[in-house]
Amino acid sequence: MKSILSVGIDIGTSTTQVIFSSLNVENTSGYFTVPKISIVGKEIIYKGGIHRTPLRTSTLIDGEAVRAIVADEFQKAGFRPGQTDTGAVIITGESARKENSEEVLRYLSDFAGEFVVSTAGPDIESVVAGKGSGAAAYSEENGVAVVNLDIGGGTTNAVIFDDGEVTGKGCLDVGGRLITVDASGKIDYISESAKKVAEYVGVELRAGNAARTEDLSRICDEYAAVLEQFLGLSEPTALLAALKTPGSSEFILHPKLRAVCFSGGVADFVYGTQQDPFRFGDIGVLLGQAIRRSRICTAFRMIGAAETIRATVVGAGTYTTSVSGSTIDYSDGLFPLKNIPVLRLDEKEQSACFAGDGAVLRDKLQWFLRQNDCRNAVIAMDGRSDPSYIAVQNLAKAIVDGADPILPSAEPIMVVLRHDMAKVLGRQIRALLADKRPVISVDSIIVQQNDYIDMGRPLMDGMVIPVVVKTLIFG
């Protein structure tokens, strides 16, 4: 068994957090069978503090101050940046839409070790938080459809798990720091989302005015009503559409949705009580109380969260990494690789390749590289569970004919498959190329068009490769 050190860094609208986890990787197959390498254990070994996300202005994250927080947490945990093997830096919520989110990631680049993901976007945040909260595990263990609502400072990320599998995800601009209150009890920030809701309910909000609990409670009640609409408990209004987070998926309800789980900073006020409504200088307490009064908590079974405010960072540190199948093939000296765009072939295009026709792949790859202004891409497809030798030869020929004339000479041909056939395919591709360019062929990985992947250094004597599938969205 091998242990991998994973770091999770979550830079959210309200808070910035760091955790370290140990992921145990082991060959779970028996003797005389094809090895099956799996992550068999996950243990959080250090939880950092909950830090207020430092901002220079309302639209600029203080990257240098974030770096100082992360550096301090590394020191407290007793680790050096180069010791990390995997994990994720996730800029979430409103922070993902700050003007300098990519610059902040550059500040953190030397903490990434050799294999840490830098990613942001509402869809991946919803899934990561839902795994960190325990909603995914509850769904799988109890065979029930569960929605996890991760309610942070700027957004609410929703994900539905059915038997542990994601069936729907989406995001709304509903959060606890969309209105902030200063130490004197006056409103000092009103987000665009809050302005829309205030106008909808007829409440006049102005920065510098006294924060009136009754007015802000009305706004929070309307936010809760929008969440009810989002979950199909009432008819949708125009406000629901107006609060949908740009870049998020269309939320698809599950017909047998039965349970709800809450995570994020506001979740503590849904599950618990807080007497001072403005203790944290925002509307988070009032929003949590409004949601607790809403139909969401009576129409669905409300389950407890394993993590609330730390759900995203726990998910980032312990659930973002998977491992490839063990029937893989690759050239030496290529890893780690980061931020490789995915070009996925549909069933019709895959069938043409299995027939030996590389023209479709060549045209699509040429278009994709030009559109994305990149030098290379992962060629992704499902593959087949039990292909004939002739079919594999045809596929290898089509991939070489399609990619070799297009890619720069030093670039590897990279193929990712769902079904276990990567080793034989990789060897056929290398034979056709006569080893004139590197090849990576891995399987047991599911990706979609517009995903990106990272591949770490091979593990378990080179039998598997750690892989993170992600979506990079900077609003």
- Cross-strand pairs, 86: 6
pLDDT at 144: 95
Pick from 61-70, 122-131, 345-354: least confident: 122-131
Task: Pick the closest to residue 429 from 440, 420, 419, 418 (CA basis).
Answer: 440
Place of tokens 């079919």: 391
Mean pLDDT of 273-291: 91
Q: What percent of the chain has pLDDT over 90?
A: 64
Mean pLDDT of 271-289: 91
| 270 vs 186: CA distance, rounded Å | 24
Q: Is the predicted pLDDT of residue 463 greater than 80, yes or no? A: yes
Mean pLDDT of 368-392: 92
pLDDT at 56: 87
Q: What percent of the chain has pLDDT over 70?
A: 93
To 10 degrees, what angle do helices 284-293 and 213-230 make? Answer: 50
Higher pLDDT, 326 or 69: 69
Q: Helix or strand or coil: residue 74?
A: helix
pLDDT at 119: 67
Positions of E strands within 384-438: 413-417
Name the token pair of 370. 């030009």
Q: Is the predicted pLDDT of residue 117 greater than 90, yes or no? A: no
What's this model's pTM, rounded to 2 decimal places?
Answer: 0.81
pLDDT at 475: 34
* Encoded amino acid at 174, one letter: V
| 247 vs 170: CA distance, rounded Å | 9
pLDDT at 162: 95
pLDDT band at 473 (very low <50, low <70, confident <90, very high): very low
- For the stretch 149-169, pLDDT in tens is 999 999 999 999 999 989 999
pLDDT at 120: 60
When the pLDDT of each residue in the chain is averaged and rounded to a whole number, the result is 90
pLDDT at 33: 52
Please compute Rg for the chain using Cα positions.
24
CB 321 within 8 A of CB 39: yes
pLDDT at 472: 53
Measured CA distances, 441 to 52, 144, 454 (Å): 43, 36, 14
pLDDT at 469: 83
Mean pLDDT of 131-158: 95
Q: Is the predicted pLDDT of residue 16 greater than 60, yes or no? A: yes
Which letter, b or e, does each residue of 436-463 get, where b requires 16 or more Cβ atoms within 10 Å of its Cβ? ebbbbbbbbbebeeebbbbbbebbbeeb
pLDDT at 474: 40
Strands 86-91 and 117-120: parallel
pLDDT at 86: 82
Higher pLDDT, 65 or 108: 65
Element (H, E) at 306: none
pLDDT band at 36 (very low <50, low <70, confident <90, very high): low
Pick from 13-17, 211-215, 287-291: least confident: 13-17
Pick from 44-53, 356-365, 463-472: least confident: 463-472
pLDDT at 211: 95
pLDDT band at 34 (very low <50, low <70, confident <90, very high): low
pLDDT at 416: 95
Name the token pair of 404. 């070799």
pLDDT at 427: 96
Q: Is the predicted pLDDT of residue 37 greater than 70, yes or no? A: no
Distance between first and last Cα of the chain: 41
Domains and CATH numbers, the chain: 2-119 (3.30.420.40), 134-306 (3.30.420), 327-459 (no CATH)
**Following CA atoms 104, 108, 112, 116 in sequence, which dihedral angle do they give, to the nearest 10 degrees?**
-20
| 384 vs 418: CA distance, rounded Å | 8
